[in-house]
C-alpha cells in the first residue's frame, strides 16, 4: 500500500484530496496546524468509510522542527501534496513583518521543509511524486494580496527547478494553480464582491475542492514524462 502525505488537510482542498486518495486505497497521512477537531474527524471518516489506515498530526508546517518530528513518525511517503498555506488581504505598506513571515513560512518554507525530508527516500526508491498547490496569483499577481502572490510565484519557480533536479531520479514535481475555489480562504469577500468576482469567470461559478482534488489524483498518476508543470484550474478565468 502506498502512502501519501497531504498537508493542510483539515478542510477545503486538502480534505477533499484526502478523501479521493483514501477512497482509492492509499495510506493517507494528513496534517493541519490548528483545526484539530476537524482533522481527527476526517481521520475517523476515512478509516470507517474506506477501511484504509489514516494518520493525523497537528503540525505547523512552517516550523522545521515540527516537520522534522512529523517525518520521524510516519512512513516515507511515496507522494507528497503540499497544500498547507494561508492568505493575507491588505495593502503591502500596512502589512506587518510578522504577517509577511507567516505567509512565507506557510506557503513557501513549508514546501522546502517537506521536500527536503521526503526526497531522500524517494531517491533511494527511484520513484516519487510531489505536487504543490499554488494559485493563479502566482502567475499573474493580485492587488491587495502581494505577499500571497509572491509566495505562490516562488512556489512555482521552486516546482520547475526541483523538477529538473529530480528528473534523473524518476521523481516528478508539478503544481496546481487553482483559480477561485469555494473554500474558507475567500471568506474576506463581501457578498457583493463574491458575485462580482463570479461574473468575471467564464464558467460562471467558483470551482469546488472536489474538482481540484480529482485533478490532483490525475497529476499524481500522470505519465512520468510530465514534470515541472504549473497546471491551471480556473474555469477559464485567466
Mean pLDDT in residue range 71-76: 98
- Is 238 within a domain? no
228 falls within a domain: yes
Query: The domain containing residue 19 runs over which residues?
Result: 3-233
pLDDT digits (tens, 9 = 90+) for 120-153: 999 999 999 999 999 999 999 999 999 999 999 9
Q: Which pLDDT score, from 0 to 100, does residue 191 have?
A: 85
- Of the given ranges (155-159, 168-172, 196-200), which has the lowest mean pLDDT? 196-200
CA atoms within 13 A on the CB side of 52: 21
Assess if residue 161 is contained within a domain: yes
Domain-embedded: residue 209: yes
List the catalytic residues.
Answer: 148
For the segment 34-65, what is each residue's pLDDT rounded down to a tens digit? 999 999 999 999 999 999 999 999 999 999 99
Number of domains in the chain: 1
CATH of the domain at 174: 3.40.50.720
Angle value at C-alpha 71, between 70 and 75, nearest 5 degrees: 120
User: pTM of the predicted model, to two decimals?
Assistant: 0.96
Residue 183: per-residue pLDDT:
85
In-domain check, residue 113: yes
pLDDT of 115 reads: 98
Residue 41 lies in a domain: yes
pLDDT at residue 189 greater than cutoff 80: no
Cα gap 82→194, rounded to integer Å = 27
Buried b or exposed e, range 191-227, using 16+ CB within 10 angstroms: eeebeeebeebeeeebbebbbbbebbbebbebeeeeb
Residue 190 within a domain: yes
Amino acid at each position: 500500500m502506498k502512502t501519501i502525505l497531504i498537508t493542510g488537510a483539515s478542510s477545503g482542498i486538502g480534505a477533499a484530496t484526502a478523501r479521493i486518495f483514501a477512497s482509492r486505497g492509499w495510506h493517507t497521512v494528513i496534517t493541519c496546524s490548528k483545526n484539530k477537531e476537524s482533522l481527527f474527524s476526517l481521520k475517523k471518516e476515512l478509516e470507517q468509510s474506506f477501511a484504509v489506515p489514516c494518520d493525523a498530526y497537528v503540525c505547523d508546517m512552517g516550523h522545521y522542527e515540527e516537520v522534522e518530528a512529523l517525518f520521524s513518525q510516519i512512513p516515507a511517503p511515496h507522494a507528497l501534496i503540499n497544500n498547507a498555506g494561508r492568505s493575507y488581504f491588505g495593502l503591502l505598506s500596512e502589512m506587518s513583518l510578522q504577517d509577511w513571515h507567516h505567509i512565507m513560512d506557510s506557503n513557501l518554507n513549508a514546501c522546502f521543509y517537506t521536500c527536503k525530508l521526503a526526497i531522500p527516500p524517494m531517491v533511494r526508491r527511484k520513484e516519487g511524486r510531489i505536487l504543490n498547490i499554488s494559485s493563479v496569483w502566482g502567475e499573474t499577481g493580485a492587488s491587495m494580496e502581494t505577499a500571497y502572490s509572491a509566495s505562490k510565484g516562488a512556489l512555482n519557480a521552486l516546482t520547475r527547478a526541483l523538477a529538473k533536479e529530480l528528473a534523473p531520479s524518476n521523481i516528478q514535481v508539478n503544481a496546481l494553480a487553482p483559480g477561485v475555489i469555494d473554500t474558507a480562504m475567500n471568506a474576506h469577500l463581501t457578498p457583493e464582491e463574491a458575485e462580482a468576482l463570479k461574473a468575471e469567470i467564464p464558467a460562471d461559478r467558483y470551482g469546488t475542492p472536489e474538482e481540484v482534488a480529482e485533478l490532483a489524483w490525475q497529476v499524481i498518476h500522470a505519465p512520468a514524462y510530465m514534470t515541472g508543470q504549473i497546471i491551471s484550474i480556473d474555469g477559464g478565468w485567466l
